């Protein structure tokens, strides 16, 4: 692990309340949540701040368009953000709204202080204004007469205003950025800011708006005719929320901020305006400002007019919170843009979560249930070769040890990738060690126990490392592993032997049921670029004589399975839902036998199932295989096997 920080204060940008939240907002907030959670689990005092930016022209315009007051616009929209954060399991310590008195007072006090110290002065201003970016530009800044940031048309403005003497800090800022390589991250973003600072003379910053043009803002304390420029107001949230000028102890506890997370489009405001404002206030600089890239739809930027904005609520409804959080963290290399398509989502979900993590968790838990009486086994590695167990445990420890470094370097995608590689190694280990075969031999109890205990311990480490990303599912997994405390302690992760022998394990059900592609897509399409219609798949031609080969028969994996539970499916008279034991895993089947068998008479029966059939949904219920039955006329009888072979026997 890399060195632990003494405290961790992380912020997101505060979001404009002119519209409902989208995936970009969700991403930064989830990212901050993962970082905060990780530090909390390490035992580092942590503060996570998010909130909403409620003043300025954008909000005013949205209110006008909706026929409501700006305050109503704020009050109605802020709830959308707060509800979404709740659903996304965001554990922020504070949520600041810039219309709150605790913020407005501090903005005014700061302005007054800077004005009194002649850091702010009044002058006539002539320039170009972009409403979208809420920023002024000089004639030279414009690109083809449009905003250099967003390419939208700009308005010419001539008026008296108040200015912050930002220009005088230009040399200081260049020097500060150059001597603090971690101040702006990734480093190519620092170069971007340096390029901007070195190539042109920094202007003073216009920090007011005449009320005659825009009334929705914080009044300047020294001139009633003006309100504060929204960015000057908004940036101060990072200090007003933690007690600047109101609770010095609290402020000293958290400032300087460990990490301001931002999107790349708000780099200048955070790496030029904010540092110079802080310098003028005599405050320390934040430790780092990290700019992430954009989420694109395919290769196109998301925008409302293109109708390709991903709605996070739909994603949660369709796929669950944890899977959504996982995808965003795993898919974006921090700093780069990333592409969001539902196809990519489903692919990653099915491979990482359903096939790898979900499957390995099920296998380990099922085998403990079967071979260890449903309890974490006591272990003793004497008397047999435990080289495979030792090697697997080493892999888990190595990843846990690397985690701190990866997190502090903001390599979050790589960090989840590394945990997933351990998950896959557990699967390979189980294949090689084959505890189900070992268990059939005499006197191998200790060996089987050690094998399963090691797999479960590695799973415990993976669940802990993935907890910040998928808190709900990893909590379920921890509970299933018989762990009493809800949250992991990352500091004590790599001691072998944390799982308590004798603790009862539970079956959490399928942690990540496979997504059946065709069906899911139809339910609620989410920002999916239009796909050309695929020609219908050709059915494989049967051979001319209608006969199949031996190999074709052997392709069908038939296995015995024991029915554990059976129940009717509401609204489907002919269908029953079965939970079956397939030897080394549990599965769910849907079978059309309800008119022939009652649920009660099925439980305990050993049946024969096709084990390698693609899962499918029947009446919305997933079926992971197919049972065999013989039918003639109206009669139907299950195919069963003679004697007591139990579950998992191959039927050939």
Distance of closest approach, residue 178 Cβ to ligand MSP, in angstroms: 24
Residue among 32, 257, 262, 499 that touches ligand MSP (CB under 6 A): 262
Our finding on whether 263 is near ligand MSP (CB under 6 A) is: yes
Residue among 234, 239, 422, 423 that touches ligand MSP (CB under 6 A): 234
Cβ neighbours of residue 83 under 8 Å, at least 6 residues apart?
none
Using the minimum distance from each CB to ligand MSP, give the nearer residue, 134 or 622: 134
Element spanning 96, H or E: strand 94-97
From residue 35, give the alpha-carbon distance in Å to each of 379, 404, 527, 529, 632: 35, 11, 28, 31, 62
Distance of closest approach, residue 15 Cβ to ligand MSP, in angstroms: 4
From residue 302, give the alpha-carbon distance in Å to each of 29, 111, 146: 18, 36, 20
Q: Do 239 and 255 meet the contact criterion of CB atoms below 8 Å apart? A: yes
Q: How far apart are CA 260 and CA 252, in angstroms?
A: 17
Number of residues that bind ligand MSP (CB under 6 A): 19
Our finding on whether 136 is near ligand MSP (CB under 6 A) is: no
Q: How far apart are CA 448 and CA 377, in angstroms?
A: 9
Residues of span 2-61 touching ligand MSP by CB under 6 A: 13-16, 24-25, 27-28, 53
DSSP state, residue 169:
G
Bridge partners, 412 (sequence order): none
Distance of closest approach, residue 238 Cβ to ligand MSP, in angstroms: 7
- CA-wise closest residue to 273 among 216, 229, 332: 229
Opening angle at CA 261, ends 260 and 263, nearest 5: 130
Near ligand MSP by CB under 6 A, which window of 183-191, 259-267, 471-479, 488-496?
259-267
Residue among 295, 349, 467, 597 that touches ligand MSP (CB under 6 A): 295
The contact pattern for ligand MSP, residues 297-316, with x = CB under 6 A and - = no contact, is -----x--------------
Using the minimum distance from each CB to ligand MSP, give the nearer residue, 268 or 479: 268
Distance of closest approach, residue 560 Cβ to ligand MSP, in angstroms: 51
Distance of closest approach, residue 318 Cβ to ligand MSP, in angstroms: 19
> What is the Rg, in whole angstroms, of the alpha carbon atoms belonging to the chain?
30
Which tokens go with 590? 């849907």
Q: How far apart are CA 40 and CA 35, in angstroms?
A: 9
Q: Which residue is nearest to ligand MSP (CB)?
A: 263
Q: How far apart are CA 462 and CA 439, in angstroms?
A: 26
For the chain, what is the largest distance between any 2 Cα atoms, rounded to a whole number of angstroms?
A: 97
Distance of closest approach, residue 26 Cβ to ligand MSP, in angstroms: 9
Beta strands in 134-206 (DSSP E): 135-137, 155-164, 184-185, 205-206
Q: How far apart are CA 223 and CA 226, in angstroms?
A: 6
- CA-wise closest residue to 278 among 235, 323, 333, 318: 235
C-alpha torsion 66→317→36→425, nearest 10: -150
Near ligand MSP by CB under 6 A, which window of 229-237, 496-504, 537-545, 615-623?
229-237
Distance of closest approach, residue 63 Cβ to ligand MSP, in angstroms: 16
Which tokens go with 165? 């003497």
Near ligand MSP by CB under 6 A, which window of 67-75, 233-241, 277-285, 443-451?
233-241
Distance of closest approach, residue 60 Cβ to ligand MSP, in angstroms: 14
Distance of closest approach, residue 52 Cβ to ligand MSP, in angstroms: 8
Residue among 96, 235, 368, 451 that touches ligand MSP (CB under 6 A): 235
Say whether the peptide bond before residue 211 is cis (omega within 30 degrees of 0).
no
Residues of span 458-517 touching ligand MSP by CB under 6 A: none
Q: Do 400 and 493 meet the contact criterion of CB atoms below 8 Å apart? A: yes
Residues of span 53-112 touching ligand MSP by CB under 6 A: 53
Near ligand MSP by CB under 6 A, which window of 232-240, 341-349, 434-442, 549-557?
232-240
Our finding on whether 189 is near ligand MSP (CB under 6 A) is: no
Distance of closest approach, residue 103 Cβ to ligand MSP, in angstroms: 11
Q: Do 595 and 574 meet the contact criterion of CB atoms below 8 Å apart? A: yes
Distance of closest approach, residue 538 Cβ to ligand MSP, in angstroms: 40
Using the minimum distance from each CB to ligand MSP, give the nearer residue, 312 or 488: 312
Near ligand MSP by CB under 6 A, which window of 38-46, 80-88, 151-159, 294-302?
294-302
Q: Which residues bind ligand MSP (CB under 6 A)?
A: 13-16, 24-25, 27-28, 53, 234-235, 237, 262-263, 265-266, 294-295, 302
């Amino acid at each position: 692990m890399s060195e632990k920080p003494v405290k961790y204060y992380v912020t997101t940008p505060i979001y404009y309340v002119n519209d409902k939240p989208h995936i970009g907002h969700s991403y930064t907030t989830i990212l901050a949540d993962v970082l905060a959670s990780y530090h909390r689990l390490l035992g580092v005092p942590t503060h996570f701040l998010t909130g909403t930016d409620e003043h300025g022209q954008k909000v005013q315009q949205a209110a006008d368009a909706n026929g409501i007051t700006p305050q109503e616009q704020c009050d109605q929209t802020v709830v959308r953000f707060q509800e979404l954060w709740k659903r996304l399991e965001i554990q922020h310590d504070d949520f600041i709204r810039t219309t709150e008195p605790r913020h407005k007072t501090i903005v005014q006090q700061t302005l007054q202080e800077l004005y009194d110290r002649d850091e702010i002065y009044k002058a006539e201003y002539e320039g170009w204004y972009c409403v979208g970016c809420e920023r002024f530009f000089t004639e030279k800044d414009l690109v083809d007469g449009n905003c250099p940031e967003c390419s939208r048309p700009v308005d010419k403005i001539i008026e008296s205003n108040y200015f912050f003497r930002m220009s005088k800090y230009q040399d200081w800022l260049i020097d500060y950025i150059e001597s603090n390589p971690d101040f702006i991250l990734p480093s190519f973003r620092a170069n971007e800011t340096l390029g901007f600072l070195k190539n042109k003379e920094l202007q003073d910053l216009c920090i007011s708006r005449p009320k005659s043009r825009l009334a929705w803002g914080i009044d300047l304390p020294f001139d009633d005719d003006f309100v504060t420029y929204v960015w000057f107001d908004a940036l101060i949230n990072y200090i007003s929320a933690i007690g600047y000028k109101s609770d010095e102890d609290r402020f000293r506890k958290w400032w300087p901020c460990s990490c301001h997370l931002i999107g790349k489009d708000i780099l200048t405001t955070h790496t030029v305006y904010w540092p110079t404002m802080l310098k003028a206030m005599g405050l320390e600089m934040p430790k780092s400002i990290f700019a992430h890239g954009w989420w694109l739809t395919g290769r196109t930027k998301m925008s409302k007019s293109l109708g390709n904005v991903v709605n996070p609520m739909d994603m949660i409804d369709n796929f669950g919170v944890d899977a959504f959080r996982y995808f965003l963290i795993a898919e974006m290399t921090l700093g780069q843009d990333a592409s969001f398509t539902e196809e990519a989502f489903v692919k990653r979900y099915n491979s990482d979560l359903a096939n790898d993590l979900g499957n390995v968790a099920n296998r380990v838990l099922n085998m403990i249930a079967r071979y260890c009486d449903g309890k974490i086994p006591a272990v003793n590695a004497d008397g047999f070769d435990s080289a495979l167990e030792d090697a697997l445990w080493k892999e888990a420890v190595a990843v846990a040890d690397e985690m701190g470094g990866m997190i502090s370097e903001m390599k979050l995608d790589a960090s989840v990738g590394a945990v997933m590689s351990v998950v896959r190694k557990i699967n390979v280990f189980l294949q090689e060690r084959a505890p189900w075969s070992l268990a059939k031999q005499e006197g191998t109890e200790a060996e089987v126990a050690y094998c399963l205990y090691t797999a479960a311990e590695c799973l415990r480490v993976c669940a802990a490392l993935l907890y910040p990303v998928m808190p709900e599912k990893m909590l379920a997994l921890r509970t299933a592993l018989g762990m009493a405390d809800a949250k992991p302690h990352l500091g004590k992760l790599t001691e072998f032997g944390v799982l308590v022998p004798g603790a009862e394990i539970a079956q959490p059900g399928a942690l990540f049921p496979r997504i059946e592609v065709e069906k899911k897509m139809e339910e609620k399409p989410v920002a999916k670029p239009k796909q050309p219609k695929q020609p219908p798949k050709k059915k494989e031609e049967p051979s001319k004589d209608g006969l199949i080969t031996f190999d074709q028969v052997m392709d069908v994996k038939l296995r015995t399975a024991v029915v554990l539970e059976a129940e009717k499916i509401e609204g489907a008279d002919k269908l029953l839902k079965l939970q079956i034991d397939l030897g080394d895993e549990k599965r769910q089947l849907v079978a059309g036998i309800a008119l022939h068998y009652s649920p009660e008479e099925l439980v305990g029966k050993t049946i024969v199932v096709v084990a390698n059939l693609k899962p499918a949904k029947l009446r919305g219920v997933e079926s992971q295989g197919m049972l065999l039955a013989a039918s003639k006329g109206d009669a139907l009888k299950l195919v069963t096997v003679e004697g007591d072979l139990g579950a998992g026997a191959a039927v050939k």
